[in-house]
Amino acid sequence: MIVNGGMGSVDFSSLDGIIALYENSTPELIAAGWLHYLAFDFWVGCWILREAKSKKIKHLWLVVPLLATFMLGPVGILLYEVTKLFLKIKPQDHALSNHK
């Protein structure tokens, strides 16, 4: 994906594109970007764990989605959703368990 606009042409689909994005940045901006990625990974990982606990999903099923979340961000969320589909956990299962 190449984005044109205030940042010029930025290619978010390759490592070279990300490196180019930060090439002319200050250390403070690079640290802010890195912190943003870490915060996303941490928040999503915590959300996956909380939801899996409420749906009684065993931790072993979470290893791959959590690693993917740490390494690839949104791919981990997708893998978690696929895991729920594989385990045949319905979205309404969570809502019903809160009303008991």
Helices (DSSP H) in the chain: which residue ranges? 15-23, 27-54, 63-72, 74-86, 91-98
Q: What average pLDDT values come out for the chain (100 residues) when binned by 10 residues? A: 50 75 80 81 93 94 93 90 91 52
- Half-sphere exposure of 77 toward its Cβ, with a 13 Å CA cutoff? 9
Q: b/e string for 9-27 if b means 16 or more Cβ within 10 A?
A: eeeeeeeeeeeebeeeeee
Report pLDDT for 32: 82
61 close to 75: Cβ distance less than 8 angstroms = no
Structural domain for 25, as ranges: 2-98
pTM of the shown model: 0.63
Which class for 80: exposed (0-12), middle (13-18), buried (19 or more C-beta within 10 A)? buried
* Number of domains making up the chain: 1
